[in-house]
Amino acid sequence: MKNHIIPAVRLTLFCAIFFCGFYTLGILGIAQLVPNKGKGEIITDKEKTYHVNVAQSFTEDKYFWSRPSAVDYNGAGSGGSNKGPSNPDYLAEVKARIDTFMLKNPGIERKDIPSELVTASGSGLDPHISVEAAKIQVKRIAKVRNLPEQKVLSIIAENTEKPLLGLFGTEKINVLKLNLALNNL
């Protein structure tokens, strides 16, 4: 028994010291090398500060809508709803989101709505939507803002982020940056 306990205690102490001390300091050191020293991307627009890496709630018709959030866009605590796709409460919530989207975006068919516009992300704080999710909202925004649809589409194109190294991931759009670009027209 002594042959098993002593190595286990040593390993536990080594891991505690390494991961609580050296690893943490190493990550902190790396964070100091990136812009904003690891505090995320912050932008200021019209004397108001926004955190670009955390989703914001946009529900007005004049804005592109964000992904729904299971944590009400609270950056202090991320998390999903933990409800499965067969949960009746979850299904009712998604159906209500679909109905609201279709009401505010007439002419859109249910099958054409991208899933990220009616389902929350795993963290509840995802600040991005797909290009398709942005394009499906163009008619509503152009009408409310009295803009040509082509102008709104050009703003989408200007704010589209390419995949990492052109390989990893898909094209995406930060909803906050997109809506600030709309406001600054």
- The angle formed by the CA atoms of residues 140, 122 and 29, to the nearest 5 degrees, is 110
Residues 102 and 172 in one domain: yes
37-90 pLDDT per residue, tens: 777 778 888 888 887 888 888 888 899 998 888 888 877 777 777 788 888 988
Q: In terms of residue numbers, what domain contains 11?
A: 1-39
Residues 164 and 113 in one domain: yes
Give the pLDDT score at 41. Answer: 79
Task: Give the confidence band of 100 by pLDDT, cuts at 50, 70, 90.
Answer: very high
What DSSP state is assigned to residue 77? Answer: S
* pTM, 2 dp: 0.77
Residues 4 and 95 in one domain: no
Give the largest CA-CA distance in the chain.
78
Residues 28 and 106 in one domain: no
